[in-house]
């Protein structure tokens, strides 16, 4: 058998604790973000998508700069170009 015990007679929660979790604006925000498709929201309004795109662009920029720097500093290629 199982050793589970269920407490059926729980005391009522105080009003302060109940009111602490009442936040209609947060509830509506979560509902709107869950029901609205991602492709209909602008990218700058969704923080996670915006940060991911920004990081991808930053990494691409750094890679391109490093490749251009290596290409320009290669002495064998500079002699062939002359």
What are φ and ψ of residue 14, in 5° steps? -70, 155
DSSP H or E stretch at residue 43: none
* Tens of pLDDT, residues 24-39: 998 898 898 888 877 7
User: Residue 56 burial by CB count (10 A; 0-12/13-18/19+): exposed, middle or buried?
Assistant: exposed
Integer Rg of the chain from CA: 29
pLDDT at res. 41: 73
pLDDT of residue 56 exceeding 60: yes
Task: Extract the tokens encoding 45.
Answer: 């309004």
pLDDT of residue 49 exceeding 70: yes
Higher model confidence: residue 77 or residue 33?
Answer: 33
Task: Extract the tokens encoding 64.
Answer: 């391109």
pLDDT of residue 82 exceeding 60: no
pLDDT at res. 75: 63
């Amino acid at each position: 058998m199982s050793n589970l015990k269920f407490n059926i007679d729980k005391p009522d929660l105080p009003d302060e604790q109940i009111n602490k979790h009442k936040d209609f604006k947060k509830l509506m925000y979560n509902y709107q973000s869950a029901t609205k498709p991602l492709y209909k929201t602008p990218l700058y309004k969704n923080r996670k998508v915006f940060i991911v795109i920004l990081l991808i662009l930053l990494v691409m920029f750094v890679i391109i700069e490093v490749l251009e720097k290596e290409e320009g500093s290669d002495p064998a290629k500079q002699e062939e170009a002359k």
